[in-house]
Amino acid sequence: MSGRRSSGLAAKATIFAALGDETRLSLLAKLGKGQRYSISQLAEGTKLTRQGVTKHLQVLERAHMVHAKRAGRENLFELDPKPIQELSEYLDMVSKQWDAALARLKAFVESKHS
């Protein structure tokens, strides 16, 4: 067995960081329609340049929310919904743990008090 592995906080963009930007949210909304888009298609109808789109896609790729697929001369980008699903399931799990713990707290205090 190797040693403890670091969870690598510094190296990785978090999902919240990736989500914390209106431009990226609008890119995600477009990608969320379920198709693959080229950088030009993503820039279309926005004020973004191709470089601007590329920069934001890189952030999303680092958070594993978007994957690039090679198609001929260009890359096509598609959404991976898994990170957001996992995050939402995680917060749901933590939330339920709190519900359970606070129900135990209430029972504990009220039984002592009554």
Partner 1 sequence: MENRIEKRIEIAAPILSVWQALTDSRQFGEWFQVKMDGPFVAGEAVGGQLTFPGYEHLRMEIVIQAIKPNSYFSYTWHPYAVDPKVDYSQEIPTLVEFRLEQIPEGTLLLVTESGFDKLPRERYTDAFRMNTRGWEQQMESIRGYVGKTF
Which stretches of the chain bind partner 1, using CB under 8 A?
A: 1, 4-10, 12, 14-17, 19-20, 63-64, 83-84, 86-91, 93-113
Give the shortest CB-34-to-partner 1 separation in angstroms. Answer: 20
Two structure tokens written together for 36: 């693959």
Give the shortest CB-64-to-partner 1 separation in angstroms. Answer: 7
- Rg over alpha carbons for the chain, rounded to the nearest Å, is 21
Q: Pick between residue 16 and residue 47 the one whose CB is nearest to partner 1.
A: 16
CB 83 within 8 A of CB 90: no
Q: Pick between residue 34 and residue 110 the one whose CB is nearest to partner 1.
A: 110
Cα 68 to Cα 37: distance, rounded to the nearest angstrom: 9
| Residue that the structure tokens 């980008």 belong to | 77
